[in-house]
Amino acid sequence: MTQKTTAPSDVAIITVSYNSSAQFADFLTSAVKSVASPSQITVVDNNSADVEVTEKLTKKLGVNLLKLDANVGYGSAVNKAVPGLHKELTTLLVCNPDSELNPETVASLRNAVQDSKVGVAGPRIYNEDGSVYPSARSIPSIRNGVGHAFFANIWLTNPWTKNYLSEAHLQNKTVSTGWVSGACLAVRRDLFTQVGGFDDHYFMYFEDVDLGYRLGKLGYTNLYVPEVSITHIGGESTKAIKKTMLRIHHESAMRFIHVKYKGILWAPVRGVIRLGLALRFWLQARKATT
């Protein structure tokens, strides 16, 4: 007989809303079942037009709602939620609102990051069609990043994409990885606070890469925990503004390049990458509008 997992009482679930009210009923229902009390869950609203709908739902379920006066971006919104959490909530679980949680996943990720040598931990993530999303990847290098950016959609088996995506997401047991997707990750609260949380300079995208990179530089091991999973449907709030999201993605990629390859000696390389990213954005933006 399988023993039922006890929903943890020391985990804070944080999710960010931006015109996401249509997704919240299912997500919050699953989240409430995954922790000991609804008060452990915080929704941060980035000045959504539909915040009144979200407010009614959170109030009904007993979930916290933090309303911001402006859209500050994903990572920054998460950062703003942490100081107001109850002190007994010592583990943070950051999760997208278009996902479905379960007690096993929350408890397992919580346990994984209790090791003082571990930075962040993330589960296996299934797409809506049942395929596995490559949520555990290597920290991008110039070679792999450029190769992946330009050849991923036209040469599916290119070696740069293979190295960047790594094969961690294909494993069936816990393995170390460069970073795990911010769609669902756990981290000890004290460690998250110690490193300054997500970098506020990333409006969206790459804040998870950057966090994994900084933790790795400090000697922490980031873990992919495929023994547990969530299902990720996809960002409905961003689909209607695809071109804008493409621009933000490329800007965030360039921001990370500046973080990893800083200094005057890398300036020529950064310049070439900037031109390449601009060209890639132009090509993808044209495709998105046709």
3-class secondary structure, 64: strand
Within 9-63, where are the H helices? Answer: 21-32, 51-61
Position 287 pLDDT exceeds 80: no
Place of tokens 């709908």: 53
Please say whether the beta carbons of 135 and 166 come within 8 A: no
Alpha-carbon distance of 285 to 261, in angstroms, equals 27
- The packing angle between helices 242-260 and 267-288, to 10°, is 170
Alpha-carbon distance of 108 to 186, in angstroms, equals 10
pLDDT tens digits, 125-145: 999 889 999 899 888 876 665
Nearest C-alpha neighbor of 158 from the set 146, 169, 170, 168:
146
Which is more confident, 279 or 236? Answer: 279
Q: Name which of 36-50, 68-82, 133-147 the model is least confident about.
A: 133-147
Kindly state the average pLDDT of the residues 152-160. Answer: 61
Position 237 pLDDT exceeds 50: no
Kindly state the average pLDDT of the residues 266-273. Answer: 77
Which is more confident, 55 or 3? Answer: 55
DSSP bridge partners of 177? 222
Place of tokens 């290098």: 141
Alpha-carbon distance of 163 to 93, in angstroms, equals 28
Percent of the chain with pLDDT over 70: 83
- The packing angle between helices 21-32 and 51-61, to 10°, is 20
For residue 150, what pLDDT band results from cuts at 50, 70 and 90? low
Nearest C-alpha neighbor of 127 from the set 15, 24, 229:
229
Q: What's the whole-number average pLDDT of the chain?
A: 87
Position 173 pLDDT exceeds 60: yes
For residue 251, what pLDDT band results from cuts at 50, 70 and 90? confident
Instruction: Give the pLDDT of residue 118.
Output: 98
Instruction: Give the pLDDT of residue 155.
Output: 57
Instruction: Give the pLDDT of residue 162.
Output: 65
Position 281 pLDDT exceeds 60: yes
Alpha-carbon distance of 91 to 105, in angstroms, equals 13
Instruction: Give the pLDDT of residue 1.
Output: 44
